[in-house]
Amino acid sequence: MMQEAAAHKTASEAAPLLDVRDMTVQFFSRHGTLTALDNVSFAIRPGEVLGIVGESGAGKSLTGASIVGLLPDSGRVTAGEIRLGEQRIDNLDRTRMRRIRGREIGLIFQDPQTSLNPLLTVGKQLVQTITSHLDMSAAAARQRGIELLRDVGIPAPERRIDSYPHQFSGGMRQRVVIALALCADPRLVIADEPTTALDVSIQAQVLALLQDLVRKRGLAIMLITHDMGVIAEVADRIAVMYAGRIVEIGPVRQVIDSPSHPYTAGLMSAIPKLGDRARRLVQIDGNMPRLDAVPSGCAFNPRCPRVMDICRVERPQLRPARAGHAACHLYPALPQAET
């Protein structure tokens, strides 16, 4: 962790806002125990955007849900710890966890069509969220709601606040969702595929809004997506997930331009040019293993073009590699392979 922080230029001095260490999440069912997240470690500093990428099922969304304590009933964080600033938040009771959600950590989901309660006006939903966390009268909360709508770029917010969700367009609705996530001024926002359900032209606007918020409010964002274009645009650092593990983490330029892990390399080779936003991850030969059949050693070994004997037996740890960290036996076995 320390080496990685040192390697990072922009926010290297600041203490991490969110610090996830060796987080393991398991699901318990009659089929046995399923390890969905395995020793996941990363940190986000104030004002930083960390992109989390991976194929669907790699555990990206689950990582977000675990941090805010919104796992399904059958799942639990079984090892590791999660710190928000100085506070450990993985062992809080329901009520204290609820006060973290929305107040300290905001969440944004993929589909603005379904994220809002269709039967309540936007204003009502804003006021309820604000008064849940801040000691405010309904009138003051409404005023704050109007300001928030203005901040996220809703025109004529004093009028629009009394509209119902269906009266907004898709892009506008996602702005409302962002306003709701920002109601109580959280320091960190976990955005789970915030642009996936939107048209390409609107995606750019929403991304610009997110970047703007980072700049103006010093917000930290954990951006979960499978869209490399989005990551390249807004992320400072990037964590690549595979089968419930982080396989590579590092500054976004380095990871994209010269990936360390063969899996990341495979992902990047599918992208001919940077900034080609419309392009999604193209699959490498074979499929990501199901969680109940993760191979021993390195989870990627059956698909890896550079597989070695050790990969089938020993699980690689995250180790310094180039500008970041990678979990691969090529490092430090080949510490200075090529530049």
Partner 1 sequence: MLGMLLRRMVESLIVLFAVAFIAFSLFSFIGDPVNNMLGQEATEAERLDMRERLGLNDSVIVQFTRFIGRAVQGEFGVSYRQSRPVIDLIAESLPATLELSFFAMVLAVGLGIPIGIQTAINRDSLVSKALMTGSLIGISLPTFLAGILLIMIFSVKLGWLPSFGRGQVVQLGWWGTGLRTWSGIKALILPTITLAIFQMTLIVRLVRSEMLEVLQADFIKFARARGLRERLVQFGYALPNTLVPVITIVGLQLGSVIAFAIVTETVFQWPGMGLLFIQSVTFADVPVMAAYLILIALIFVVINLLVDMLYYVIDPRLRSMGGL
Binding site for partner 1 (CB under 8 A): 68, 70, 94, 98-103, 106-107, 109, 111, 114-121, 128-129, 132-133, 164, 166-167, 177, 180-181, 183-184
Pair of tokens at residue 284: 């490498």
| DSSP code string of 262-323 | HHHHHHHHT-SSTT-TT--PPPPSS-PPPGGGPPSSSTTGGG-TT--GGGGTSPPPEEEETT
Q: CB-wise, 48 or 192, nearer to partner 1?
A: 192
Q: CB-wise, 133 or 277, nearer to partner 1?
A: 133
Q: CB-wise, 59 or 106, nearer to partner 1?
A: 106
Q: CB-wise, 108 or 239, nearer to partner 1?
A: 108
Q: CB-wise, 2 or 119, nearer to partner 1?
A: 119
Nearest approach, Cβ of 97 to partner 1 (angstroms)? 9
Find the Cα–Cα–Cα–Cα dihedral 274, 227, 48, 11, rounded to 10°.
Answer: -40
Nearest approach, Cβ of 196 to partner 1 (angstroms)? 13
Tell me the one-letter amino acid at 120: L
Nearest approach, Cβ of 45 to partner 1 (angstroms)? 22
Nearest approach, Cβ of 169 to partner 1 (angstroms)? 14
Strand pairing class (188-192; 245-251): unpaired
Nearest approach, Cβ of 125 to partner 1 (angstroms)? 8
Nearest approach, Cβ of 89 to partner 1 (angstroms)? 13
With b for 16 or more beta-carbon neighbours within 10 A and e for fewer, the 137-164 pattern comes to: eeeebbbbbbebbebbbbeebeebbeeb
Q: CB-wise, 58 or 177, nearer to partner 1?
A: 177
Across 122-229, the runs of DSSP E, i.e. the strands, are 188-192, 220-224
Q: Which phi and psi (to 5°) does residue 189 adopt?
A: -120, 130
Distance between CA atoms of residues 194 and 205, nearest Å: 12
Nearest approach, Cβ of 155 to partner 1 (angstroms)? 19
With b for 16 or more beta-carbon neighbours within 10 A and e for fewer, the 269-283 pattern comes to: eebeeeeebeeebee
Nearest approach, Cβ of 73 to partner 1 (angstroms)? 9
Q: CB-wise, 22 or 147, nearer to partner 1?
A: 147
Q: What residues contact residue 268 under an 8 Å CB cut-off, 6+ apart?
A: 228, 256, 259
Strand pairing class (105-108; 188-192): parallel
Q: CB-wise, 98 or 150, nearer to partner 1?
A: 98
With b for 16 or more beta-carbon neighbours within 10 A and e for fewer, the 209-228 pattern comes to: bbeebbeeeebbbbbbbbbb
